[in-house]
Amino acid sequence: MASFQWSCPFCERHQIVLDESYHHEYNKMHFGKSKYGDVGASVFAIRCVNSDCNEVFLEVTFSTFAIRSSQWVPLTQIAKWNFETHGVV
Ligand SMILES: [Zn+2]
């Protein structure tokens, strides 16, 4: 993903998110087929570049996975959680 616009949910500062300010990865869970079929999780995180905030927006998505071009990729979202809605314990 190239740079994109984003507003931090913690400080509400509008900013351009560059490659070095976000993280995205996904992994298929290799434990056989669940009731949903093949599944996995994606992690998407952005660090706010406002030095007064410097918070981490973290989102985890649980989805079905399928093979596309010989790679396991997320297909259909089953559930999604994020740090903003659940906060710090
Ligand atoms: Zn912020």
Structure confidence by residue, pLDDT tens digits, 3-35? 999 999 999 999 999 999 999 999 999 999 999
Kindly indicate the confidence band of residue 86, based on its pLDDT and cuts at 50, 70 and 90. Answer: low
Question: How many angstroms does the Cα of residue 50 sit away from the middle of ligand 1?
Answer: 6
Residues with CB under 5 A from ligand 1 (ion): 8, 10-11, 48, 50, 53, 55
Structure confidence by residue, pLDDT tens digits, 32-67: 999 999 999 999 999 999 999 999 999 999 999 999
Q: Is residue 5 part of a domain?
A: no
Question: How many angstroms does the Cα of residue 28 sit away from the middle of ligand 1?
Answer: 31
Stated pTM of the model:
0.81
In sequence order, the β-bridge partners of residue 63 are 40, 77
Q: Is residue 38 part of a domain?
A: yes
Q: Is residue 47 part of a domain?
A: yes
Q: Is residue 78 part of a domain?
A: yes
Give the range of the structural domain holding residue 74, as residue numbers without chain letter. Answer: 21-86
Q: Is residue 3 part of a domain?
A: no
Question: How many angstroms does the Cα of residue 18 sit away from the middle of ligand 1?
Answer: 15
Number of domains in the chain: 1
Q: Is residue 1 part of a domain?
A: no
In sequence order, the β-bridge partners of residue 54 are none
Q: Looking at the predicted structure, is the pLDDT value of residue 82 above 90?
A: no
Question: How many angstroms does the Cα of residue 14 sit away from the middle of ligand 1?
Answer: 9
Q: Is residue 33 part of a domain?
A: yes
**Alpha carbon 56 to chain centroid distance?**
12
Q: Is residue 80 part of a domain?
A: yes
